[in-house]
Amino acid sequence: MNARKDRRRGTSAAALRLRRRAASATGDPYATVARPEPSVRRWVIGIVVALLAVSGWALVTGGVFDSPVAHTVRSASIWSDPAVGLDDAAARQVIGDRRLVIVVRAANATPGARDACRDLDAAAEGTVVVILTAEADDWATYGCQYLFDQDDDLGRAAVIEERVSTGVGAFPGRPLDAVRTIVVNYDLLVAFDRIPGDARTFRPSLPRYVLAGAALAAVVLGALGIWWAARRAGRSLGATAATDQVDSDHRAVLSTAMTAIAHALLRLDSRPGAEPANRDELFQEYLGITGRIAELDRLTGDDHRDQLDRVLRDADALLDDVSAAVR
């Protein structure tokens, strides 16, 4: 009795291992050994969307939609229309590193000076901007400051925008002298503490730092992900190899058991004398089990697992019954 219980416990363990093996061999998507991962995970989509958003933010704040003037003054202190004949290199040397941006335009330039100045609010942030537009015997001037919020100190802003271009009308047709005059006015405003005296700095926009950090994080996380995936794959292969070996052994045991049942049935059939009362029943049960074993290859999922469990239990019970009949 105890031996039979031990054999049944062994058969149950074999059933578990064989179920995994059979599920893997038949491509069952619910197999224990190999479960396919989802092709796209939600957190991956979230990261991609976040990176796309940051990239778009970087493009917008980085000046992808800037006008030619704004694109230039984002990293320079002077822009001039070739028609006015200004030596830009000399003008840059005069302006130096001051928080000053000068735009020199030809006559009848569009858009208007006010709109042109507003177009530079992001590109010339932290500076005083002067728009010079050539006229027949004068310069039309328009100033706008982006040092501070104009609503915080409207009077100070008005003084800066008005005084910074004073006197340029004395130099019609001489744009470099007009630039020198603006620089002198700027220095006077610095001396009277109307304008900060520190230098203009050119800094990449915040999204560029974010993108640089994201790129570094992607490299580090990618390396960690590759290491983790390789480690997991190694463990999975090791577990699969061990499971395959155990399953192969139990399949051999099952095959041996079915062979022993067939041999015992043949002995029972050829034995002279009275036949056991359940002889035909034993033969029919054996044929039923072999038929269900043949059906296993056509079953998948829960049907396959249930069929395998039933076959193992029935084969174990049949082996006991046939052995008892032969004795």
Segment among 16-25, 56-65, 119-128 with least mean pLDDT: 16-25
CA 256 to chain centroid, in Å, comes to 53
- In this prediction, residues 281-299 reach a mean pLDDT of 80
pLDDT confidence of 181, banded at 50, 70, 90? very high
Amino acid found at 205: S
> Does 115 or 208 have the greater pLDDT score?
115
Q: Which of 12-16, 44-48, 51-55, 182-186 has the lowest mean pLDDT?
A: 12-16
- Mean pLDDT confidence for 18-23: 45
pLDDT of 229 > 90? The answer is no
CA 173 to chain centre: 57
Q: Cis (ω within 30 of 0) for the bond into 36? A: no
What value does the CA radius of gyration of the chain take, rounded to a whole number of Å? 44
Locate CATH 3.10.310 in the chain.
Answer: 64-204
pLDDT top residue among 257 and 144: 144
pLDDT at 91: 95
How far is the C-alpha of 159 from the C-alpha of 224, rounded, in Å? 58
Separate counts of helices (H) and strands (E) for the chain: 10, 4
pLDDT digits (tens, 9 = 90+) for 82-104: 999 999 999 999 999 999 999 99
What's the mean pLDDT when you consider all of the chain? 76
For the segment 299-316, what is each residue's pLDDT rounded down to a tens digit?
776 676 677 677 777 878
d(CA 76, CA 149): 22
Q: What's the confidence (pLDDT) of residue 40?
A: 53
Multiple choice CATH, 64-204, 3.30.70, 1.10.230, 3.10.310, 2.60.40: 3.10.310
Highest mean pLDDT among 34-38, 42-46, 181-185, 235-239: 181-185
pLDDT at 24: 44
Whether pLDDT at 153 is above 70: yes
Please name the residues in contact with 211: beta carbons below 8 A apart, sequence gap of 6 or more.
54, 55, 58
141 confidence band (pLDDT: 50, 70, 90): very high
6 — pLDDT class (breaks 50, 70, 90): very low
- At 105 the three-state DSSP class reads strand
pLDDT of residue 4: 41
Q: Rounded to whole angstroms, how far apart are CA atoms 20 and 24?
A: 6
Whether 233 shows a pLDDT value over 50: the answer reads yes
pLDDT tier at 10, thresholds 50, 70, 90: very low
35-39, 126-130, 157-161, 285-289: which has the highest mean pLDDT?
A: 126-130
Model confidence at 28: pLDDT above 50:
no
**pLDDT for the residue numbered 176:** 95
Which two structure tokens, joined as six digits, stand for 60?
Answer: 């917008």
Report yes or no: 100 and 78 within 8 Å, Cβ to Cβ.
no
pLDDT, residue 3, reads 42
- Is pLDDT of 27 > 70? no
Per-residue DSSP letters for 131-156?
EEEE-SSSEEEEEEE-SS-GGG-HHH
**CA–CA dist 126, 66 (Å, integer):** 17
0.75 exceeded by the pTM? no
Residue 164 pLDDT > 90: yes
Distance CA 160, CA 158 (A): 5
Distance, in Å, from the CA atom of 19 to the CA atom of 22, rounded to the nearest integer, reads 5
So what's the pLDDT on residue 1?
A: 42
322 touches 261 (CB < 8 A)? yes
Q: Tell which residue, 62, 56, 54, 63, has the closest CA to residue 213.
A: 54
* From 81-90, 91-100, 207-216, 259-268, the region with the lowest mean pLDDT: 207-216
Percent of the chain with pLDDT strictly greater than 90: 21
> At residue 139, what are phi and psi to the nearest 5 degrees?
-120, 130
